[in-house]
Structure 1
């Protein structure tokens, strides 16, 4: 077990981020460091924070590797959609040729990209913003 020393600024940041960081996984890692900064050993930390020994060791390794910024960054796997590269061209097409329901939209997406999606996935595709002013009002301006 390597000795870890915490600066006063790090202790203050740990006390704050322990409850105020938006990511709960990062909060758990910061909780581990906060307990370590109070002199607890690994077994006491696993019992108090309700985490595994591996999580304790991984959190401490990340802190030693890059400090608090490395710990705050987190590592969440966010897969990229296959439609992401076609998003702008599909958006332009649907702005020029609006559809009334999800079925024709699904057919157009499949025709243009060769990617088949379910109706619920097509419904979540970004819709164009509605024009708050009817066209006759714009003519009056």
Structure 2
């Protein structure tokens, strides 16, 4: 979102077989815990807005789609396998760059979580805006390519 950095959510799940991100975990840890209030704040200050997410199974499940309908949050269509169409992918790159610049990489999970939170907090809004500002051009390029592939 231009001129606004959303809250960073460090997800908690066990991993391994059956321990990945599920619809239930996504709804509890992201949608209920953070997005609902953030979306309400943004809607009050900016008017009508759409929420964008990728097509991960936990994002596209029936129960997650129902969650969005129940909370009146409209979704922006996101083409499958199109990370170039989501500015957050470029922002993640910026975040990783900040982590790589650390003089002492974290050696614990807690240390990594803290380092990621600190990097997110220090990420300038201008770095986010530059990726959001380029989205119009990316959409136009994709439409012009007519099913071709564009690399950024």
TM range, normalised to the smaller chain?
Answer: under 0.3
Higher helix share: 1
**Bigger Rg over Cα:** 1
Name which structure has the greater RCO, CA cutoff 8 Å, separation 6+.
Answer: 2
Q: Scaled by the length of structure 1, what TM-score is found?
A: 0.23
